[in-house]
Amino acid sequence: MTAATAALDFPFANPSNLHDRVFLPRLAQIRETEPVIFSEQQGGWLLTKHADVIAAFSDQRLSARRLHVAQFHAIPEAERAAVIPNLIKYIPNWIINIDDDQHQRVRKLVIKAFSRKVVEAMRPAVDRACDELIAKAIAKGECDFIEEIAFPLPASVICNLLGVPEQYMDPLRIWARDMTIALASAHPPRELLLAAENTMKEMNELFIGEFAKRRQNPGSDLLTALVQAHEDGETLSDEELLGLCHVLIVAGHDTTANSLALGLVALVNHPEQRERYLNNEVDGMQAMSELLRYVAMASTQIRITRAPVTYGGKEIPPGQVVFLMIAAANRDPLVFENPNELIFGRPKIEASCTFAPGTHHCLGHFLARMELDTLYRKLFARAKVEVLSQDLQFTPNYAFRGLEALPVRLSPR
């Protein structure tokens, strides 16, 4: 590594480096100076240009099967079967961690279950959850927006979506946080992997029982749709069903909670854009896409090279960790004019990388944006919102950036 390259490198996992005023300018500096760079701090290659990130998401030489190289690194391979049996059994076969024919087969079955019709049927439940949480928060006046609204809303939505009792809301939030913290980094330490192993055992106990209930008494929820999913004689095994439930909890909770909090800060700090959005001068779903681009909650996804690849004139050998830097790509001025500004109605917002374009495009993108849109419209209609501190602290999760707390004052209108 040259001195110039070393000067650009910085540790993502340090929460102080994840603040907007540090993280985003530093990524911009890398993108404009050395857009393909090997990071000693991260132990892998960073792709920061929009064109490279878009290409990499569809590059079959880059594998989503990253766990044997990265996530399980802290535990010797000979010990894994005894120490983290559930992690090594299920996580390598999560839909976000598989490639080629296996990925196509599972995705084809899941798309049928996770249809637009299923998501649209969630609107009344999302409305009710928003109404209840907003009313409680307004009654308190001053509160932590994350604790009172951002965390419980997606937990309630996921419980309703899956058709599991709301008594699991609090455990679900803990499960999501444990799994996200352990698996969002490239090289999680042993203690985090052990905590994730215990969490997965608890999740499996719940869902194995729920599968049996759906087979005896089918309902109209997503779990029933997944249990009944079939295509050309193919169905999902219990192992695949469990893996999909794990992903729904992990990908559907903390990511949405983080987006809700970061998005609220952005809306409060941009009153003109907020009013354009609330007055329906722009399409709501497109506005949420722009909000997510701007707040950069989704900062990266990890891939492993399974063949030599060349980006930016640099050859990356097989077996290397590659970080597809969504946060940098989404602020590339070659694609987005005035990329550091929040502009609802922005042209080319469909070029956003937030939901991982390509073969692993996020199945929950519509539900996530619908939750944000519903919550913000109801909240600003019923309350004047003040963020009580701009000195916000980020969690040590660089893949999905989030805040430790968001103190707000909600005054009824």
Q: What is the pLDDT of residues 197-235, one digit of tens each?
A: 999 999 999 999 999 999 999 988 888 888 888 766 778
Binned at pLDDT 50, 70 and 90, residue 1 comes out as low
Residue 67's Cα: distance from chain center in Å?
Answer: 18
Give per-residue burial for 186-212: e unless 16+ CB within 10 Å, then b. Answer: bebeeebbbebbebbeebbebbeebbe
What pLDDT is recorded for position 101?
Answer: 85
Q: Are 142 and 408 in contact (CB under 8 A)?
A: yes
Average pLDDT, the chain: 90
Binned at pLDDT 50, 70 and 90, residue 68 comes out as low
Under 8 Å CB-to-CB from 291, ≥6 apart: which residues? 259, 263, 266, 267, 342, 344, 372
Binned at pLDDT 50, 70 and 90, residue 186 comes out as low
What pLDDT is recorded for position 185?
Answer: 61
**In the chain, % of residues over pLDDT 70:** 96
Residue reference for tokens 């996200």: 180
Beta strands in 307-357 (DSSP E): 309-311, 314-316, 321-324
Binned at pLDDT 50, 70 and 90, residue 64 comes out as confident
- pLDDT tens digits, residue range 368-400? 999 999 999 999 999 999 999 988 999 888 889
Q: How many CB atoms lie within 10 A of CB 296?
A: 22
| Average pLDDT estimate for 228-252 | 83
For 231, the 3-state DSSP assignment is strand
What pLDDT is recorded for position 4?
Answer: 66
